[in-house]
Amino acid sequence: MQYAFDEIIERRNTNAMNTDGFRQYIFHADETMQFPYADEDFVRMWVADMEFAVAPEIIEAIEERLKKRIFGYTKVFDPAYYEAFRNWCEQRYGWHPEKAHLVTSPGVIPALYELTGYLCQSSDQVLILTPSYAYFKHAVDFHALQTVCSDLKEENGYYTIDFEDFAKKAADPHTKLCIFCNPHNPTGRVWHKDELLQVAQICKENDLWLISDEIHCDILRIGQTHTPMAKVMPDYDKIITCMAASKSFNLAGLMFSNVIIPNDKLRETWKKRHYDFENPLSIAATQAAYTKGGAWLDAMRQYLDENFAFCAAFIQEHLPRATFRIPEATYLAWVDISAYVSEEENLPLLFANEAGVLLEGGDMFVANSNGYIRLNLACPRSILQKGLTRIADLLAKR
CB of 358 to ligand LCS, least distance (A): 12
Calpha distance 180→177 (Å, rounded)? 9
CB 345 within 8 A of CB 361: no
Per the CB < 8 A criterion, the answer to whether 245 and 297 are in contact is: no
Taking the least distance from each CB to ligand LCS, the nearer of 154 and 214 is 214
Q: Which is nearer to ligand LCS, 48 or 61 (CB)?
A: 48
As measured in angstroms, the least distance from the Cβ of 210 to ligand LCS is: 15
Q: What is the 8-class DSSP label of residue 390? A: H
Q: Is residue 140 within the footprint of ligand LCS (CB under 6 A)? A: no
Q: Which residue's CB is nearer to ligand LCS, number 282 or number 392?
A: 282
Pick between residue 307 and residue 376 the one whose CB is nearest to ligand LCS: 376
Nearest alpha-carbon partner for 348 in 40, 25, 17, 10:
25
* Residue showing the smallest CB distance to ligand LCS in the complex: 107
Minimal distance, residue 1 CB to ligand LCS, in Å: 26
For residue 43, the cross-strand partners are 357
In the list 50, 84, 102, 108, the residue contacting ligand LCS (rule: CB under 6 A) is 108
As beta bridge partners, residue 175 has 125
Enumerate residues 6-65 that contact ligand LCS by CB under 6 A.
Answer: 47-48
Q: Does the footprint of ligand LCS cover residue 367 (CB under 6 A)?
A: no
User: Does residue 381 sit in helix, strand or coil?
Assistant: helix
Smaller CB separation from ligand LCS, 109 or 392? 109
Q: Does position 258 bind ligand LCS by CB under 6 A?
A: no
Identified binder of ligand LCS from the candidate list 257, 258, 282, 291, rule CB under 6 A: 257
Residues 265-324 that bind ligand LCS (CB under 6 A): none
Q: Coil, strand, or helix at residue 43?
A: strand
Instruction: State the nearest-atom distance from the C-beta of 257 to ligand LCS, in Å.
Output: 5
Residue type, 261: I
Q: CB of residue 348 vs ligand LCS: minimum separation in angstroms?
A: 13
- DSSP for 176-226, please give it: EEEEEESSPTTT-----HHHHHHHHHHHHHTT-EEEEE-TTTT-BPTT---
133 lines the binding site for ligand LCS (CB under 6 A): yes
The region of 88-96, 105-113, 286-294, 333-341 touching ligand LCS under the rule CB under 6 A is 105-113
CB of 25 to ligand LCS, least distance (A): 8
Rounded Cα distance, 208 and 150, in Å = 15
The residue (of 22 and 324) whose beta carbon lies closer to ligand LCS is 22
Tell me how far apart the terminal alpha carbons of the chain are, to the nearest angstrom. 40
**Separation between Cα atoms, residue 136 and residue 133, nearest integer Å:** 6
Distances in Å between the Cα of 112 and the Cα atoms of 63, 105, 273, 349 are: 31, 10, 14, 29
Give the x-and-dash track for 213-232 against ligand LCS (CB under 6 A). Answer: x-x-----------------
- Closer residue to ligand LCS, CB minimum distance, 183 or 371: 183
Question: Which of these segments, 78-86, 103-111, 146-154, 161-169, binds ligand LCS (CB under 6 A)?
Answer: 103-111
Do 287 and 61 form a contact (C-beta atoms < 8 A)? yes
Q: Are the C-beta atoms of 308 and 221 separated by less than 8 Å?
A: yes
Determine, following the binding rule CB under 6 A, whether residue 362 of this chain makes contact with ligand LCS.
Answer: no
String of contacts with ligand LCS for each residue 235-254, x by CB under 6 A = ---------x-x-----x--
Which x/- pattern over 172-191 shows residues binding ligand LCS (rule: CB under 6 A)?
---------x---x------
Using the minimum distance from each CB to ligand LCS, give the nearer residue, 95 or 180: 180
Of 8-16, 66-74, 101-109, 285-293, which part binds ligand LCS (CB under 6 A)?
A: 101-109
Cross-sheet strand order for the sheet of 360-361: 332-336, 372-376, 360-361
Collapsing DSSP to helix, strand or coil, 115 comes out as helix
What is the secondary structure of 292-330 as a DSSP string?
H-HHHHHHHHHHHHHHHHHHHHHHHHH-TTSB----SBS
Q: Should residue 104 be labelled a site residue for ligand LCS when binding is judged by CB under 6 A? A: no
Given the rule CB under 6 A, which residues bind ligand LCS?
A: 47-48, 107-109, 133, 181, 185, 213, 215, 244, 246, 252, 257
